[in-house]
Chains A and B, each alone.
Chain A
Amino acid sequence: MIDRIHPLTLLIYFLYAGMISAFSRNPFMHGLTLICGMIMLFTWNEFAKVLRKIPLFLLFFVLISIFNPFFYHNGNTVLFYMAGRRITLEALLFGADSALMVIGVMVWFISLSHYMTGDKVLYLFGRVSAKGATIISLVMRLIPHYIGYIRSYRRHQKLLGLYGDGSFIESVRAEGKIFAGFLTWSLEHSMTTADSMTSRGYGVTRRRSFSPFRFRAKDILVLCISVVCAAIMTAGITSGGFATEYYPVIVLPAPGLTFILMCLVYIISVSIIPLISFIKDR
């Protein structure tokens, strides 16, 4: 069902869902984004596959968290000294918060990449630049073509006994030869493509593109909800009151009524696409 949502709606929804909390400095908001993003992963991915990603996320979390205190030495609570520099609790927690935010955005972008299939990317890009979209579609086709060609070239060389005796230097030399041959072929081959495009009339008139995407009622609904909620969240963040101060001491503002309302707005607004698809699929 999500496949049939208009690409623009999809893009704006995911950008809103993934990035709105990145503009605030509040660990609860970042955590909420991450949790919602994980739930979004479960809507299209297998449970086991998502679980297998979690160690990677944890590794990222640890790496980004410990990055900050080693380079940033502000903060009052000293944990220990390393090479004469202070390693502070504040810097560590600041790093952890940043890590939470980065992973939250990453998780949302994984879902975005899944739903933004090639045709949707081409459609969106083609609105801005027809030339860019042409190149993208050509490149998308050329990549698997080239990989297949290199593989078969290598097989032929091995079969003919021209790949060398298996020593490292011989292999490198053989790969160099394969690369040179491949390069000549790819450039010459591209000219055939160019000629066949010319003979089919490419560039004769202004380029028009066909797209199967229609702006439907549910697109308007999702778009309106995303934009309005983004505005509400921005207003909430702008009004301040729950930005965490890290230096010199951590000041974590108590979650008030505004904060709880904003979290609710966020949860309801991001669940709109999974909800629509769930209802339609039934």
Chain B
Amino acid sequence: MIFERYYILISIVIITGSLAVVFLRLDRRRTGVRRLILISVMTALSIVSRFIFAALPAFKPMAAIVILTGVYLGPEAGFLCGCLSAFISNFYFGQGPWTPFQMTALGLIGLIAALIGKLLAGAKPPVSRLRLPILCIYGLVSGVFYSFFLDTWTMLWTYGTINGEGYLAALAAAVPYTVLYSVSNAVFILLLDPPFGKRLGRIITKYKI
């Protein structure tokens, strides 16, 4: 091997670079002040929720709030909320080289949630009645996605190369965590969608956001 463990260096550089590019692009877009504030409020709420449930491992409403932000406030809001929730909350729970990976994973979860939300908003009655179940299933899937994404990092970090066996080992070790995380996502979407939907909808129409 020429440079042992170069995969990890390359992956960190690529992921940090792409995050920087996305942020630079987002900066060019004009976002209304009210929308910007709503994004900050949702981010703060998701971080506070991580504090409240800090004692329970993996059982957290953070991703659920990110998903709801994406659904109600659009792709930019979903991405920013996910990304910055991971970034800021890690100041309290521990920063590390894993931070860019968590930021990307949660940002993508929020972004995809917004796309699903857009599809659901334009859906006809038989599908639109299944809105909440679809969001819950997305919550489950996003929990699994988060685990797969972060375990890529675990594999690169411990083994230094692409290592199928090591990846499976990391996934297997994380199974209880993943299950709990996915279920908590679905449960919290189920619990939080009615209050958030009602209030955010009201704010959006009242203040024309």
**Cα separation A86 to B44 with both chains bound (whole Å):** 48
Q: List residues of chain B with CB within 8 A of the CB of A190.
A: 37-38, 40-41
Q: Do B96 and A237 touch across chains, with their CB atoms under 8 A apart?
A: no
Q: Do A25 and B5 touch across chains, with their CB atoms under 8 A apart?
A: yes
Q: List residues of chain A with CB within 8 A of the CB of B207.
A: 191, 194
Q: Choose, from B112-120, B134-142, B157-165, the stretch at the interface.
A: B157-165
Q: Do A129 and B23 touch across chains, with their CB atoms under 8 A apart?
A: yes
Q: Do A129 and B24 touch across chains, with their CB atoms under 8 A apart?
A: yes
Contact among B30, B36, B88 with A140 in the assembled complex (CB-CB below 8 Å): B88
Q: List residues of chain A with CB within 8 A of the CB of B173.
A: 67, 71
**Cα separation A129 to B103 with both chains bound (whole Å):** 15
Q: Do B203 and A188 touch across chains, with their CB atoms under 8 A apart?
A: yes
Q: Do A183 and B199 touch across chains, with their CB atoms under 8 A apart?
A: yes
**Cα separation A158 to B179 with both chains bound (whole Å):** 36
Contact among B4, B80, B158, B199 with A135 in the assembled complex (CB-CB below 8 Å): B80
Q: List residues of chain A with CB within 8 A of the CB of B51.
A: 143, 147
Q: Choose, from A46-54, A106-114, A257-265, A267-275, the stretch at the interface.
A: A106-114
Q: Do A113 and B95 touch across chains, with their CB atoms under 8 A apart?
A: yes
**Cα separation A23 to B5 with both chains bound (whole Å):** 5
**Cα separation A136 to B91 with both chains bound (whole Å):** 12
Min Cβ gap B40→A in Å is: 4
Q: Do B41 and A143 touch across chains, with their CB atoms under 8 A apart?
A: no
Min Cβ gap B183→A in Å is: 18
Q: Do B45 and A19 touch across chains, with their CB atoms under 8 A apart?
A: no
Q: Do A183 and B196 touch across chains, with their CB atoms under 8 A apart?
A: yes
Asked if A25 meets B4 with Cβ closer than 8 Å, knowing A72-B165, A109-B94, A109-B96, the reply is yes
Q: Do B84 and A136 touch across chains, with their CB atoms under 8 A apart?
A: yes
Q: Do A191 and B37 touch across chains, with their CB atoms under 8 A apart?
A: yes
Per-position 1/0 for B155-177, Cβ under 8 A of A: 00110100001101110110000
Q: Which of B90-145 contact A (CB under 8 A)?
A: 91, 94-97
Asked if A146 meets B95 with Cβ closer than 8 Å, knowing A128-B23, A187-B199, the reply is no
Residue of B nearest to A132 (CB): B23
Q: Do A112 and B8 touch across chains, with their CB atoms under 8 A apart?
A: no
Q: List residues of chain B with CB within 8 A of the CB of A186.
A: 41, 44-45
Residue of A nearest to B29 (CB): A131
Q: Do A138 and B37 touch across chains, with their CB atoms under 8 A apart?
A: yes
A24 part of interface (Cβ distance < 8 Å): yes
Interface residues of B, count at CB 8 A: 54
Q: List residues of chain B with CB within 8 A of the CB of A72.
A: 165-166, 169
Per-position 1/0 for B1-24, Cβ under 8 A of A: 111111011000000000010011
A134 part of interface (Cβ distance < 8 Å): yes
Q: Do B45 and A237 touch across chains, with their CB atoms under 8 A apart?
A: no
A240 part of interface (Cβ distance < 8 Å): yes
A152 part of interface (Cβ distance < 8 Å): no
A161 part of interface (Cβ distance < 8 Å): no
Asked if A136 meets B88 with Cβ closer than 8 Å, knowing A183-B199, A203-B33, the reply is yes
A243 part of interface (Cβ distance < 8 Å): yes
Per-position 1/0 for A246-260, Cβ under 8 A of B: 000000000000000
Residue of B nearest to A197 (CB): B33
24 A-B residue pairs with Cβ-Cβ distance under 8 Å, sorted by A, are A22-B8, A22-B97, A71-B165, A130-B27, A132-B26, A132-B84, A134-B36, A134-B40, A138-B37, A143-B88, A146-B44, A146-B48, A187-B38, A187-B203, A191-B37, A191-B207, A194-B37, A194-B207, A197-B33, A197-B37, A202-B33, A203-B30, A240-B1, A240-B4
**Which 4 pairs across A and B sit closest by C-beta, in order of nearness?**
A71-B169, A142-B44, A138-B40, A129-B23
Q: A128-B20, A186-B41 are in contact. List 11 more A-B contacts (CB 8 A).
A: A22-B97, A24-B4, A113-B95, A131-B26, A136-B84, A143-B88, A146-B45, A190-B40, A194-B36, A197-B33, A203-B30
Question: What residues make up the interface of B, taking CB atoms closer than 8 Å to A?
Answer: 1-6, 8-9, 20, 23-24, 26-27, 30-31, 33-34, 36-41, 43-45, 47-48, 51, 80, 84, 87-88, 91, 94-97, 157-158, 160, 165-166, 168-170, 172-173, 195-196, 199-200, 203, 207
Question: What residues make up the interface of A, taking CB atoms closer than 8 Å to B?
Answer: 19, 22-25, 67-68, 71-72, 98, 102, 105-106, 109, 112-113, 121, 128-132, 134-136, 138-140, 142-143, 146-147, 150, 179-180, 183-184, 186-188, 190-191, 193-194, 197-198, 202-203, 234, 237-238, 240, 243
